[in-house]
Structure 1
Amino acid sequence: MNRLHVRLLVAGAVLLLALLTIWLGSQLQRYEDVVEHGPAPQARSNDYLAAELFLRALGLQVARHDGIAGLETLPNSGQTLLLLGDRRNMTPRQTERLLDWAAAGGHLVVVAERLWDEKTGKSGDLLLDRLNLQQYSTRDLDEEAQSPQSSTAEQHPQLTKLYLENESAPAYLAFDTDFHLYDADNRAHAWANSAGATHMLQLQHGNGLVTALTDSWIWQNRNIDEYDHAWLLWYLTQDSEVTLVHRSEHDGLLAQLRKHFPETLTALGLLILFALWHVGQRFGPLLPAASPARRQLQEHLRGSAEFLLRHGREQSLLQRLQQDIQRRANVRHPGFEQLPLSGQLTLLAQLSSLPPASIEQAMRPTPQQRLSATEFTRQVAYLQTLRNAL
């Protein structure tokens, strides 16, 4: 093969490869696919991360604390404090500090945590009890006590409406309609109602403001972009620095284990139960510890007899004595065991020189029913007399 042929083959191979590449390129289609990895770890650990980023995007300074204990010094007057976390462990002294801070010109936004108890005259929520704001379940309200329904409420009965001056349309909010706030002192100057309940109250407290809400889930990551939730957050915090407290206490070790390792805790609990059952199982009542001294032969014999009497009853003991007599008679008269019963009784009478009536009484078959103590003693006496005579 000369060089010309080689060049032609190489050129043909290159041409075929180029055509194949062009054809494959025409068959490929470009597409985009979005893979959802779920929320970021920061969002999973902070339910109000979106609210915090929203406020910062508005140019507001936002400080975040995990709990009341982190507020060693309260914000300066004129700022907004969003107290959205659990306040079960709040002390009366901390409550006084917060109310004094609000009276000095701060804006305190707080979530009602407990229902009003008519019997005790309080709810246990120290902040709301001091302000005489009462929270009720809408199921316990009379129809007359519920907020009157307007034409707008009839269109959206599950939404809360907030009306502002110089505004033709209200802001719509998705508060939990199972709860209702009541201003017992009639101090509130602004409020937001759903079809049958009040979910936000705002009142003057000294030189500052206090805003009470039935719940704050509208500002959590999954709900802040719905309806006018983000607008309400802006409206309550506008033109002020914000301190956000959304968690009063961290989950304990047991709560973390129960949340992340429920199967492991279940297996550990079952293992502990089985171990306790194994250690604590018994087969009878506890017996006193045995004396270290050696027992006499009579005690061993008595114990053996009591054991046989307890497990085999009288029949076992009587049969053993009868079998012993038959062995002794067979030694003295080979072939004894092959004789009929009448012949055995006659031979036993000859060997022992005892009357036939006593022999028959001693060797009679043992009854299946339980013998009385007297009958058992008499039968044993007959057998012992016969055995001793052999």
Structure 2
Amino acid sequence: MRWPMTLALALLGAAVVAGGVGWFLHTHERVEDSVPIPPHGEAAYNPLYALRESLRAAGVPAESRRRLERSGLALGPRDTVLMLGSPDTTTPADVERLLDWVDAGGHLLVRTPAPSARERLARPWGLLERLGVRPVAGRGRCAPLVIPGQSSHVEFCAGQRFLLVGQAPERLWGDNGEHGLVYARLVHGAGRVDVLADFDFLLNDALREAPHHILARQVLAPNWGEGTMHLVYAASVPPLWLSILTRGWMAWGPLLLALAAWLWLRTQRFGPRIPSPAVARRALLEHVRASGEHMVRYGRAPVLYDAVRTAFFERLRRRDPLAAALDGDAGVEAIAARTGLPPRDVRHALQAPRPDDAAGFRQRIARLIQMRQRL
């Protein structure tokens, strides 16, 4: 009967498992979901990373650079330079070099400075001033962007519009009058200079939209496919202290707690919880004096007298064995002759005091010490 029961239980268990799997597959559906994650690596600090990769995917040589360096950047006659940062940071030497390169056929793209509450000071040697561009104070209006087959867009809402002084642009966008321009293409020798109110449509997130792709293709058209495109961006790297504060807390947090605990243990208390222990006293004379006072207080003065008298006779036996061997008056006379003291004082010192005679005890002890020192 054991085998049929085991087989029945196995079949029942398999049926339960098959039923559970069938119920799960019938009630659940497998779907795919895309979760955007924050950019990392170069895409986290290079705002023109997506533009560079798009250009390379289109077969156009493109390079990213943090800044426009005087050395290490060999510009070809048909190259393109896009400066994402403010042109006010360009040095006079770089301005001359860029304009000479544009004269030879280069294509330069610059933007106006970001709107500021303070009025911008004009610099005669500045790049915008050399191009006849005068930024309009204050934030301008948004410019509509209409592309057939695409939804309507507005651009340059956060940019600063500008006016052209003594220049006839090849292309323009906006009003070179009351409201100002948002885009202008200027002819400079054999090359072109594009001035824009903002480059926000070229940033990483903005390039996801098709109208921005088309607009980017238009502003990069003059030297498209004829040279290398140099994308110069100002890397917005946070200060070191801010990076340590925001990203290194797992290291400095425990260290700060350990430092606080150490300072709490080492700090001085105001009003101790328990009395301070008495300072140990190591003066031998104080210990001897305290021991003697203790013995006198408890009637042990004769012991002290006997110790001093014994110390006197031990030195006397070393210094004058004959005087130490004599007894009675002869010994007293010999000790008096040896120490130079009267025999009466010597006899008084050698007689033990009464236990209650404190004055006599002190006199005899002092006399014995005096006699011992004169040996």
TM-score band w.r.t. shorter chain: 0.5 to 0.7
Deviation at 1:68, TM superposition (A): 1.2
The one-letter code of the counterpart of 1:158 is: C
> Match of 1:78?
78
The amino acid of 1:219's aligned partner reads L
8 Å CA contact retained: 2:48, 2:202:
yes
1:30 maps to 29
TM-score by length of 2: 0.55
Residue of structure 1 aligned with 2:231, choices 244, 256, 266: 244
Q: CA deviation at 1:259?
A: 6.6
CA distance in 1, matches of 2:80, 2:162: 21
What is the one-letter code of the residue matched to 1:180? R
1:138–1:197 contact (8 Å) kept in structure 2 = no
Q: Distance in 1 between matches of 2:85 and 2:185?
A: 19
Residue aligning to 1:326: none
Aligned to 1:189: 170
Q: Which residue of 3, 7, 23 corresponds with 1:7?
A: 3
5 Å-filtered alignment, 1:221-370, equals 221-226=204-209, 228-238=211-221, 239-240=224-225, 241-247=228-234, 250-254=237-241, 256-257=243-244
- What amino acid is aligned across from residue 42 of structure 1 in structure 2? E
Tell me which residue corresponds to 1:345: none
Which runs of 5 or more structure 1 residues have no equivalent in the other structure? 142-156, 272-390
Unaligned runs of 5+ in 2: 260-375
| Matched letter for residue 205 of structure 2 | R
Asked if structure 2 preserves the Cα contact closer than 8 Å seen for 1:116 and 1:136, the reply is no
Q: What is the letter of the counterpart of residue 18 of structure 1?
A: A
Q: Please give the alpha-carbon distance, in whole angstroms, between the structure 2 residues aligned to 1:45 and 1:161.
A: 28
Q: CA deviation at 1:62?
A: 0.7
Once the two structures are superposed, the pairs formed by residues 38-53 of structure 1 within 5 Å of their partners are 38-53=38-53
Listed one character per residue, the Cα deviations across residues 130-172 of structure 1 (whole Å, up to 9, x for unaligned) are 1110111356x8xxxxxxxxxxxxxxx7334489xxx999995
| Higher alpha-carbon Rg | 2
- Tell me how far apart the structure 1 counterparts of residues 192 and 95 of structure 2 sit (CA, whole Å): 15
CA distance in 2, matches of 1:231, 1:70: 32
Alignment of 1:189-228 (within 5 A): 189-193=170-174, 196-226=179-209, 228=211
Native 8 Å contact 1:84 1:111 kept in 2: yes
The one-letter amino acid of 1:39's match is P
Report the AA paired with residue 244 of structure 1. L
Task: Give the partner amino acid of 1:127.
Answer: L
- CA distance in structure 1 between the partners assigned to 2:35 and 2:151 by the alignment: 38
Greater shift in the superposed pair: 115-124 or 196-205: 115-124
1:202 counterpart letter in structure 2: R
- Cα–Cα, structure 1 residues 170 and 7, in superposed 2: closer, same or farther, change >3 Å? closer
Residue 111 (structure 1) aligned with residue 138 (structure 2)? no
RMSD, aligned CA: 4.0
2:143 to 144, 152, 159: 159
How far has the Cα of 1:6 moved from its partner?
A: 2.8
Counterpart secondary structure, 1:188: coil
- Output one character per residue of 1:179-215: Cα deviation in whole Å (capped at 9) or x when no partner: 2111111321211228944211110011000001111
3-state SS of the aligned residue for 1:53?
helix
Distance 1:158 1:24 in 2: 60
Contact 1:61–1:242 at 8 Å: present in 2 too? Answer: yes
Question: Partners of 1:169 and 1:18 in 2: how far apart?
Answer: 58
Match of residue 275 from structure 1 = none
The answer on whether the counterparts of 1:123 and 1:134 sit within 8 Å (CA) in structure 2 is: no
Contact preservation (8 Å) 1:74, 1:101: no
CA distance in 2 between counterparts of 1:175 and 1:235 reads 16
Is structure 2 residue 15 aligned with structure 1 residue 16?
Answer: no
8 Å Cα contact 2:82/2:231 also seen in 1: yes
Shift of 1:106: 0.5
Shift in alpha-carbon separation, 1:123–1:115, aligned structure 2, 3 A: farther
**Aligned mates of 2:119, 2:215 — CA distance in 1:** 35
